[in-house]
Structure 1
Amino acid sequence: MTSFTPELRFAQKVLDEQPFSVLVGARVEVFEPGRAVLALDIREDLKQQNGFVHGGVLAYAADNALTFAAGTALGPAVLTGGLTISYVRPATGVSLEAEATVVSSGRRQAICQCEIFAVAADGTRTLCAVAQGSVLTAG
């Protein structure tokens, strides 16, 4: 069960101000120093023609999880500087979880890693993608 700390409430408020995040139904599950977990339910309209979650949805989840994790180190005014993603296997199940951690941070930049898991109805988590990115302060 998610514990709704003031920090987590703030992070969810920021996410709710992003129209695309609202469109895909994203939510912040964890927001703590050096770490963030973003989740979303897998819906039919987020899949590609073969029935797997579209790679763009996985990239979105990685991008936002990376920036939220970096925000715990750099503050809330951050932007993605770049990211790479490797797709490990097709994503199927009931939800996605993107877990990002800060690997290194300075005053204006953080380097973060993210693992994206597809979660089955029974709670089994399967790694479907990994990403790494740089996040910069917006000022």
Structure 2
Amino acid sequence: MNPLPEPSAIVQLMMANDAFSQWLGITVEEIRPGYCSLSMIVRPEMTNGFGITHGGIAISLADSALAFAANAAGRMAKTVQLSCQYIRPVNAHERLQATAIETERTHRFSYIEVIITRGSEKIAALHGMAYLSDKEWVIPPTS
């Protein structure tokens, strides 16, 4: 049995193939199995008709944090459920931080809580679940 790749290598490979997370401008701050911290700056094109950040941006940021945290343990995982409670509105040009923490892991599921903050203010709280496949991550050799 080969050793599992480092969490950072898994997330680098995921990000290289994740056009949407790249479009969001996500920066990976910290990654380890069951934990991920991401940040991004809200751009004007991410706002809605009320002039505040579209709710889908918070959910998308949280979805990436959840997926990276679940996959960092070495098995391929996909988000299957994510619910969001919005607490405060966000404006363009503000920096958001998403912190995903795995609260429980079974053979098939990873249960993760994601908190999105702006500085010390909580913006949104999310609860989600990722399905864990039997496939392990393999990082292709570099040439």
Q: TM class, shorter-chain normalised?
A: 0.7 to 0.9
Amino acid at match of 2:62: A
Q: Please state how far the C-alpha of 1:126 moved relative to its aligned partner.
A: 1.6
Deviation per residue, 1:101-120 (Å, 9 max, x gap): 000002221100000112xx
2:131 partner letter: L
SS for the counterpart of 2:90 is coil
| Contact 2:96–2:116, Cα closer than 8 Å, also in 1 | yes
- Distance apart, 1:76 and its partner CA: 4.5
For residues 41-60 of structure 1, the aligned pairs below 5 Å read 41-60=41-60
In the alignment of these two chains, the number of paired residues is 128
Counterparts of 2:26 and 2:68, CA distance in 1: 13
Give yes or no for the alignment of 1:40 onto 2:35: no
After superposition, the Cα gap between the structure-2 partners of 1:117 and 1:36, relative to the gap in structure 1 and judged at 3 Å, is same
Post-superposition offset of 1:27? 2.1
Q: Could you tell me which residue of structure 2 aligns to residue 15 of structure 1? A: 15
Q: Which residue of 2 aligns with 1:133?
A: 128
| Aligned mates of 2:121, 2:16 — CA distance in 1 | 27
Instruction: Write the distance in 2 (CA, Å) between the matches of 1:47 and 1:104.
Output: 34
The alpha carbon displacement at 1:25 in A equals 1.2
Secondary structure in 1 matching 2:72: helix
Match of 1:29 in 2: 29
The aligned residue for residue 90 of structure 2 is 91
* Contact 1:12 1:28 survives alignment (8 Å): no
Structure 1 alignment gaps of length 5 or more: 1-5, 119-123
Match of 2:76 in 1: 77
- 2:137 maps to none
Residues 85-136 of structure 1, C-alpha deviation per residue, up to 9 Å, x if partnerless? 1001102352111100000002221100000112xxxxx3321100001101
Question: For residues 16 and 130 of structure 1, do their structure 2 counterparts lie closer, same or farther at Cα, with a shift above 3 Å needed?
Answer: same
Choose 1 or 2 for highest CA Rg: 2
CA spacing shift, 1:12–1:97, aligned 2, 3 Å: farther
Are the aligned partners of 1:34 and 1:69 in contact in 2 as well (CA < 8 Å)?
yes
* Structure 1 residue 9: Cα displacement: 4.8
CA contact (8 A) 2:10 2:71 kept: no
Higher relative contact order (CA 8 A, sep 6+): 2
Aligned identity (percent) is 27
Tell me, in whole angstroms, the C-alpha distance in 2 between the residues paired with 1:136 and 1:62: 16
* SS state at 1:77 partner: strand
Residues 86, 44 of structure 1: CA spacing in aligned structure 2 closer, same or farther, 3 A cutoff?
Answer: same
In structure 2, list runs of 5 or more residues that go unmatched. 1-5, 135-143
